[in-house]
Amino acid sequence: MVAAVTNQGASAQPLSVSQAIGCAKETVDAMPSLLVTGEVSGFKGPARGGHCYFRLKDDSAAMDAIVWRGVHEHSGVKLRDGLQVLMSGHFQIYEPTGRLSFVARTLQASGEGLLRQQVAALAKRLKAEGLMDESRKRPIPSFCERVAVVTSPTGSVIFDVKRTLERRNPLVEVLVSGCSVQGEGAPQQIIRALARAAASRPDAILLVRGGGSYEDLMTFNDEQLARAIAACPVPVIAGIGHEDDVTIAEMVSDRRSSTPTAAAESVAPDFKEIEDKFHSREARLITEMNKMLTANNQLVSTLDARSTQAMRASIMRLGVQVNAYASRRCLQDPFATLHDREEQLVLSEQRLHDAAPRAARRLSRETVQLASRLVSVAPRIADARPTEALGQRLVQCGPAMLRLPQAQLSRSAAQLDALSPLKVLGRGYAITKDEGGHVVSHVSQVAEGDGISVMLADGTVHARVTQTVANDQVNATA
């Protein structure tokens, strides 16, 4: 076929399509292995068998590329449109269609794609350590009075942040800790700027910078910077690049904002919003206070009525008790008890005088009856037993039989003696009687000129009243 291809004369034999493709295949197979870099285009995901088919292109050309399943899984590269890759392999012609494809033996990301893989690996490792856990992140005050800004002092971002803070809340004090946000050594400068900002003891720190390429933002994907942000004693709000750009510094920060301006707005509530909140809460406080006052007034009125009613009932109850005490005879007349006792003593004396003869007569009758019983039973006793033995028993039983009556008589005599008015008279008291023989217990029972008899312990004195003086007159004179 090579000979046929080189024959260009009129007698040259034409080649079939298969022969032409076979000739091209031999030439392509003879080519050495190549190392090619380009951008993935037209990738739709692995095919059913796990193989990957896409186009690899640069600014002026494109070619079909094939990555077999084993090569793709071994590389660990997540293919997607726009990813820059580096592949080693060789060209191959598929004879049925004559299509030329580059078949990869190795596959790896290059340029931005490689950087993204490195960042993803670092993010995965820091996440496993817990640096991105929400439970670790510190709360940010709703109203910050001092805010430190870590960014480039010459960029437009710092002016945007200051302008936003001044517009929303001019009372916020802004502290600027300048540093480089791009290039070699920038992560170390940012770390030192964070330390200076934290030393000023602000309420929060804004770590911000404007947009840029992925390579420009790699400063904020530094591992040491991420650990410094996590260890910072002050809450850190990160606003780096545009909304679609997400760096590791934002992942470990206490709050991520889509832009630097949004980060400034998050720490400085608008005065109008604060004023509206104050008015709303003022209205709520007034409403609640009115409810409380109304409820308390009702409660006070109820308690006042109940206390008044209870006080009146208590006063009435005490008044009844006082009236009951006042109606008692002992309180109306303190000497009434003595007078009653005196009258009881006089009555007891009279009863004793009347009872003593009766008791003596009763005792005498009992003695006579006992003697007659003894006389009646004596013959029977004498007939039944020897007289001497009965006499001895009689001598023994006689005193025993008389002992109980004698004890009763002694007790009655002692009681009579204790209750006898004569004992009272013996202590210096006297019993006064009027001319009719009635006991005089009150001054009002006699008058001047009346005759009285005063019974003393050893006799009676007859006298005539010359003057009467009541106790209340004596007390008034004293």
Q: For residue range 240-262, what is the model confidence (pLDDT) as tens digits?
A: 877 666 888 889 999 988 889 88
**Range with the poorest average pLDDT among 69-73, 229-233, 311-315, 388-392:** 388-392
Residue 376 pLDDT = 78
Residue at 306: amino acid letter: R
What per-residue confidence (pLDDT) applies to 7? 45
pTM assigned to the model: 0.43
**Angle between the N-to-C axes of helices 186-199 and 223-231, in degrees from 0 to 180, rounded to the nearest 10:** 10
pLDDT at 104: 94
pLDDT of residue 320: 87
pLDDT for residue 383: 61
Of the listed ranges 144-153, 333-342, 418-427, 445-454, the one predicted with least confidence: 418-427
- 1.10.645.10, 1.10.150.20, 2.40.50.140, 3.40.630.30: which CATH number matches 31-110? 2.40.50.140
Please report, for residues 43, 84, 112, 402, the alpha-carbon distance to residue 78 in angstroms, rounded to integers and kept in the order given. Answer: 11, 11, 13, 138
User: Which residues lie below 8 Å from residue 412, measured CB to CB, with a gap of 6+?
Assistant: 359
Fold annotation for 117-269: Rossmann fold (3.40.50)
- Mean pLDDT in residue range 98-126: 82
What b/e readout covers 112-129, taking b as 16+ CB neighbours within 10 angstroms?
ebbbbbebeeebeebeee
Q: Which strands make up the sheet holding 451-455, listed edge to edge?
A: 431-434, 451-455, 460-464
The letter for the amino acid at 448 is E
Bigger pLDDT: 426 vs 282:
282
Top mean pLDDT of 112-121, 285-294, 398-407 is at 285-294
Cβ neighbours of residue 50 closer than 8 Å, sequence gap 6 or more: 69, 72, 73
Q: Taking the domains of the chain in order of start, what are their residue ranges?
A: 31-110, 117-269, 336-426, 431-477
Work out the pLDDT band at 92, boundaries 50, 70, 90: very high
pLDDT at 4: 44
Question: What is the torsion angle, in degrees rounded to the nearest 10, for the CA atoms of residue 369, residue 374, residue 377 and residue 382?
Answer: -170
| 290-294 own/partner pairs: CB under 8 Å, 24+ apart | none
Residue 88 has pLDDT above 50, yes or no: yes
**Hey, which of 335-339, 388-392, 450-454 has the most confident mean pLDDT?**
450-454
Residue 10 is predicted with a pLDDT of: 46
- What percentage of the chain reaches a pLDDT higher than 70? 89
Residue range 344-356, pLDDT digits in tens: 888 887 887 777 7
* pLDDT of 9 strictly over 50: no
- For residue 5, pLDDT over 70 is answered with no
Average pLDDT, the chain: 83
CA-CA distance, 13 to 424, in Å (whole number)? Answer: 181
Q: Mean pLDDT throughout 433-459? A: 82
